[in-house]
Amino acid sequence: MVNGSFASRRAHGVNALYARVTRHVRVFPFVALALAALAAAGWFARRETADITGSAQVIDGDSLVVAGVEIRLYGIDAPEYRQTCFRRGRPWACGVDATRTLRALIASRPVAACAVDGRDLGAAMVAGGHAVAYGAYEQEERAARNAGRGIWSSRFEPPAAWRAKHRSQ
């Protein structure tokens, strides 16, 4: 034969098969580890998004405590409780107003997944002008700003900037 004997081709075929099998055996632990990591990540993600239910105590316009867990409402940034805004040139306790509004939305009812009676608390706070959008609720913020509701009827410092200035106090 031109390319060698039948026996050498058969031996080459067995060696190639052996090489493929050992390659798969060497790769298998890495694949198994990757699959286990993905399964664990999914389990942790489900645990993090579990509903927390119970009575809520409002900390400020975007934070509350439910069942001993401090929760920050997703997608909004409300004025801090001590923050003051200026409306028609006069100081206005916009942080206190945001806190009161969130308390009124909750009204000591059980809270689950930051919604009360099916109403998204973050969307309600932003739509009422008691918080700014912070990664979500841009449409609600635009409507509140255009209507001059809540803090949009005043001159105010964005809550994140206000917090940065007053962090040490």
Q: How far is CA 14 from the centre of its chain?
A: 55
DSSP result, 54-97: S-EEEEETTEEEETTEEEE-TTEEPPPTT--EEETTEEE-HHHH
84 and 4, same domain (yes or no): no
Q: How many domains does the chain have?
A: 2
- State whether 72 and 136 are in the same domain: yes
Q: List per-residue pLDDT tens for the chain, 169 residues long.
A: 555 555 555 556 666 666 665 665 666 666 666 666 676 666 555 545 567 777 888 999 999 998 898 998 888 999 999 999 999 999 999 999 999 999 988 876 665 547 888 889 999 999 999 999 988 899 999 999 999 999 999 999 999 899 889 887 6
Its domain, for residue 19, covers 1-50
* 21 shares its domain with 88: no
- My answer on whether 69 and 31 are in the same domain is no
Global pTM value: 0.54
Claim to verify: residue 122 and residue 69 sit in the same structural domain: yes
Q: How far apart are the first and last CA of the chain?
A: 91
Q: Which CA distances in Å does 164 have to 1, 80, 96, 122, 159?
A: 83, 11, 19, 22, 9
- What is the C-alpha to C-alpha distance for residues 26 and 162, in angstroms, rounded to an integer? 56
Final residue in a domain of this structure, among 50, 68, 86: 50
Are the CB atoms for 144 and 94 separated by under 8 Å? no
Tokens matching residue 161: 């900037």
Whole-angstrom distance, CA of residue 121 vs CA of residue 97: 15
Residues 56 and 111 sit within 8 Å (Cβ to Cβ): yes
Does residue 42 share a domain with residue 107? no
In a shared domain, residues 136 and 161: yes
Which distant-in-sequence residues (6+ apart) come within 8 Å of 99 by Cβ?
A: 58, 59, 60, 61, 78, 81
CATH number at residue 145: 2.40.50.90
